[in-house]
Chain A
């Protein structure tokens, strides 16, 4: 076994599933998830020494994956008009849902994806690590390379920004919450 395989087994294999799921959750598209993972692997390779000495290598790997995935989303947003992007992002609807519910879910999903892609890099990573991955602030701080209070601020500001970006969903969200 060479050093690269050892690195993979030591640092990436334990995080592999979470990397895949993170890429999928943010992209909702097999091709873009695949691209994001390739990009993430290349980034981890170039930063492998940093990962090796990092106090929380798993959190750092996750952060790199999130960045790579959101960067891919941003590139898509630049490349496509917003409407097309939203349609693409919403393209993977749940087939079990009825047409109307699926359309509404797709619309909400597209808006959320677009809002996440609009967040500054650290806020996007902090919110994603906190809300989707359930990481403690200590791990988020380690992943972002900042102090724990700063990590809290990133999460807080990311949430605040998402609230503003998603304010159009406020009544719909309340309805959806009431129905569930």
Chain B
């Protein structure tokens, strides 16, 4: 386990399999960790790394709880710098973070595979301005509660974060190669907007097949 820093954030990076060959970085979903990949990425022909996002797994919690996707994109960014990975696979929240990094570090990332999973699906494409008080009360209860003793309750902000489709597609347009793994289930608006661009490759959610399509 290796420790990386950006700003005041300290995250854990796990080497799932040593090189040689092109390195892959795996980014887990909301309330997951690097452990969730198990040997599911074993078919990748190269080194495989997985990080624990801020507030997850072996990584430190955020003092003050201001979790948001752009900050967590910093976790992915320092991990690609440390591993020289040019391929990303992300699940749920991790898929969104991989998209942000693929678009903002387009010269560093050759291919990105987005898998369905938990995180940033509940906020919708734009804020809903009705029933603000009721929705805030429900959110605040989750964000300050201790429903699950292991996960930081403040991570709830990542369930309700607003993610406009046009914002997501601005990253998708810059990314070199995007692969969307689909199994026919409903996807959030940011995901379907990327699909509608027509430039992403649609692949199976069966990981060996999807990884074969991602390989250089």
Are A and B subunits of one complex? Answer: no
